[in-house]
């Protein structure tokens, strides 16, 4: 929310104090750079998603085996 508020305030100030042609050029560069950043972010997410999923499955299996060991231990002592 803070980022969106800063964006709104900054955009309002730019539109109030800069000539329209200048902020249109700035807006064009912001849009092109944000699409570049979004594309790189998407590539990174797609690259590391299998690793996160694999690690999540390993963590789940580890927790499951530890819980079954704990339940077996509780059954022996109880």
The structural domains of the chain, with segments of one domain joined by +, span 20-77
52-78 pLDDT, tens digit per residue, is 677 777 777 787 787 887 777 778 875
Structural tokens at position 42: 């998407």
Q: Can you tell me the mean pLDDT for 7-14?
A: 82
Q: In angstroms, how far apart are the furthest CA atoms of the chain?
A: 79
The string over 54-74, giving b where at least 16 C-beta atoms fall within 10 Å of a residue's C-beta and e elsewhere, is eeeeeeeeeeeeeeeeeeeee
Q: What is the pLDDT of residue 52?
A: 67
pTM: 0.34
Residue 20's pLDDT band, with cuts at 50, 70 and 90, is low
The CA-atom distances, in angstroms, between 20 and each of 3, 17, 24 are 24, 9, 6
CA distance 2 to 8: 10
22-46 pLDDT, tens digit per residue, is 667 777 777 777 777 777 777 777 7
């Amino acid at each position: 929310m803070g980022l969106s508020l800063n964006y709104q305030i900054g955009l309002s100030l730019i539109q109030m104090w800069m000539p329209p042609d200048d902020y249109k050029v700035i807006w064009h560069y912001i849009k092109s750079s944000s699409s570049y950043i979004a594309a790189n972010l998407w590539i990174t997410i797609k690259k590391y998603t299998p690793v996160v999923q694999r690690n999540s499955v390993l963590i789940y299996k580890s927790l499951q085996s530890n819980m079954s060991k704990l339940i077996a231990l509780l059954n022996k002592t109880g």
